[in-house]
Structure 1
């Protein structure tokens, strides 16, 4: 992993946490993800006009990824409706790197050396620690429906990460791949929302339109950078480094949503930094 690739993934981490935070600020999650998905479709259509069509071999992956992304968005909506942003976001992102490591080894033929494997494991442990410690005090009981929804979100992230890692390499055009992915995945949720709200939809969307479109733009930048990085480096270290967005998400939760951070989560964040350092040292 070169410095340029690492910087791109870190920028993606910041923008990803930012668009998730924007979505969380909109009380009606269906409205939030309608704006983000619909805005992504519009931006994707514009990008498609200026990028090559992906190669034929990439289209099965594009379709599969679009379906996985729709499931991911539905699970993320459910997670955000059930729990704190500062807890739900880290758990969702923290479960992905280890799963990606296993899937990439099984289906993509990637292997990690001892340093990289140790880095992925340590970083993932730190990410999960950031999620589980210091949210509502030491006596708080887990909210299992929220945790299960968020773990399922993490599994969907791992699945689409591997699918897109293979698909974007087969596409011959990272820009064309992200454009068509946004087009394919961005229609179902708006269509469902229209069916639910009918004539009242525009009135409900209007107050949040600018915020939602900003979230859509940030989501495309975030994932576009990750897709480009996946053409330049192995999937597992990228997946783990990308999850540094958890630190940004935890900071956003503490600063803007007034959610507790706490000493144990700071220690877990330090553990994550050690893991990332091991991955970059060995790359």
Structure 2
């Protein structure tokens, strides 16, 4: 894989960790997720007025991705109701790389070399190690189910968007329309949380919308990379956001044990190297 593509995906992982850090510190995560979705709608609304339409066949994938994102937000919100972020997050993100590799093999005909699968496995192990203490304390059945459901949704929309963006003829247009259709997600949460939204201080609005802008930028970088690299490899590199999030938590939120997180970082770096030299 070209170093520039690796750098782009890892940059997206850092940005992804930043917006997840914003959600993590929120008192009401569902409302904040709605603001994050709305933060993607604002720039997208401008972009779709000046960009050409993506190809007609790619719109099916944009719509499917939007529907799956609905499921993702629902599963994530329910998972956080039943389990701590330190338990839910590694489960949800850890199952994504192998699932994306399997879906990409079935639906996109992508066959990864054995070394790349080894890199995916090492990254998945590093994700679990990053929150090993919390995972050892036990996971409730509901939290496990919703966390797994979240990961499945992530894997499905990752492959859906990977195929769709390749068919779109214009990555920017696909990115813009995908972001704009988050208006349905933002609208749904706004109706459900209308009383909470009315009482939110301006600072929370600003943070939530800023999180949306960061999230949209991160996913735009990933969409671009999917034009040039196998979907399973892109997904595995993107999920290194877990260790970046863990490092943010350690440095800024004073969370966790630094030796375990350093070990996770080393494992993920090894996984990145395996994938980068295999595809």
> TM-score of the superposition, structure 2-length normalised?
0.92
Displacement after TM superposition at 1:184 (Å): 1.3
In structure 1, the residue matched to 2:41 is 41
In structure 1, the residue matched to 2:240 is 244
For 1:202, which of 198, 202, 214 is the aligned residue? 198
Q: Distance in 2 between matches of 1:186 and 1:197?
A: 15
In structure 1, the residue matched to 2:20 is 20
Q: Which deviates more, 16-25 or 122-131?
A: 122-131
In structure 2, the residue matched to 1:89 is 89
| 8 Å CA contact 1:129, 1:268 repeated in 2 | yes
Show the 5 A alignment for 1:140-155: 140-155=137-152
| 8 Å CA contact 2:38, 2:182 repeated in 1 | no
Residue aligned with 2:110, SS: coil
The 3 A distance-change label for structure 1 pair 190 and 25 is: farther
The gaps in structure 2 that reach 5 residues or longer are none
Displacement after TM superposition at 1:204 (Å): 2.4
In structure 2, the residue matched to 1:134 is 133
The 3 A distance-change label for structure 1 pair 92 and 280 is: same
What do residues 8-62 of structure 1 show as CA deviations (whole Å, max 9, x unaligned)? Answer: 1001000011111111222112320221111211121112123221100101101
Residue aligned with 1:119, SS: helix
Residue aligned with 2:50, SS: coil
In structure 2, the residue matched to 1:113 is 113
The 3 A distance-change label for structure 1 pair 263 and 210 is: same
In structure 2, the residue matched to 1:67 is 67
Q: Which deviates more, 260-269 or 16-25?
A: 260-269
Displacement after TM superposition at 1:264 (Å): 4.2
In structure 2, the residue matched to 1:103 is 103
Displacement after TM superposition at 1:265 (Å): 4.7
Q: Distance in 2 between matches of 1:194 and 1:164?
A: 27
Q: Distance in 2 between matches of 1:182 and 1:70?
A: 13
Q: Distance in 2 between matches of 1:205 and 1:187?
A: 23
The 3 A distance-change label for structure 1 pair 275 and 27 is: same
| 8 Å CA contact 1:88, 1:150 repeated in 2 | yes
The 3 A distance-change label for structure 1 pair 191 and 155 is: closer
The 3 A distance-change label for structure 1 pair 193 and 67 is: same
| 8 Å CA contact 1:135, 1:261 repeated in 2 | no
| 8 Å CA contact 2:65, 2:157 repeated in 1 | yes
Q: Distance in 2 between matches of 1:165 and 1:87?
A: 28
Residue aligned with 1:134, SS: helix
Residue aligned with 1:213, SS: helix
In structure 1, the residue matched to 2:76 is 76
Q: Say whether residues 1:160 and 2:157 are aligned partners.
A: yes
Show the 5 A alignment for 1:223-234: 223-234=219-230
Q: Distance in 2 between matches of 1:72 and 1:93?
A: 12
In structure 2, the residue matched to 1:182 is 179
The gaps in structure 1 that reach 5 residues or longer are none
| 8 Å CA contact 1:134, 1:260 repeated in 2 | no
Displacement after TM superposition at 1:279 (Å): 0.8
Q: Say whether residues 1:172 and 2:169 are aligned partners.
A: yes
| 8 Å CA contact 2:87, 2:139 repeated in 1 | no
